[in-house]
Amino acid sequence: MTNVLILGANGSLARVAIDRFLKETDAQLSLYMRNSRRLRNIDSNRVQVIEGNVIDLEKLKEAMNGQDVVYANLAGNLEQMATTVVEAMTATGVKRLIWISSMGIYDEVPGQRYSSVLDPYRKSAEIIEASDLNYTILRPGWFTNKDGIDYQITQKGEPFKGHDISRKSLADLIVKLAVTSGMEVRNSLGVSKPNS
């Protein structure tokens, strides 16, 4: 059984991943968010809800105790959040991190140049890549609500293929990464729908 701490657990992608974890694994989930009242009712004895801010180091370290995997699905001050997550994981000995970023942080999308809007994603990825954690950074295309699971992966240094990605597809990959020991460790993966 895997203990998974989900940071930003009320996000649209995280909610799809939570459903998938509960339906397809025996993982114990700790859902970490700023406002737990916004979370829809999840009827499962495998879920614990923790209210807190990711930049609160002491609260985050407390939430990480006993965890096997941290899945971070965050928005806001990503650089500060990445720093705090790495520090909390290092302090508690939790090694496995799945971090959601964005396509384009390495200027890997053919024919497109991205502006400073991606700087927080770039900087947070740099912080994570400089750590000793067993991270996987996911760089998805734009999210869709399409049904079905269909995705392709590109590695850091390869041109990004496609564009959009369904939340269900990305959630499928997140769950596989969380429960499969050693899968894509210390890699940064572009994720998109084939031929999109």
Interval 20-45: pLDDT, tens: 999 999 999 999 999 988 887 788 89
Q: In the predicted model, is pLDDT for residue 196 greater than 70? A: no
Rg (CA), the chain: 16
Q: Are 60 and 2 in contact (CB under 8 A)?
A: no
Backbone angles phi, psi at 31, to 5 degrees: -100, 115
The beta-strand segments (E) located in 38-127 are 47-51, 69-72, 96-100
Q: In the predicted model, is pLDDT for residue 54 greater than 80? A: yes
User: Could you give all domains of the chain from N- to C-terminal order, each with its CATH number?
Assistant: 3-192 (3.40.50.720)
Angle at 90 between CA 156 and CA 48, to 5 degrees: 95
Interval 133-167: pLDDT, tens: 999 999 999 999 999 999 999 999 999 998 899 99
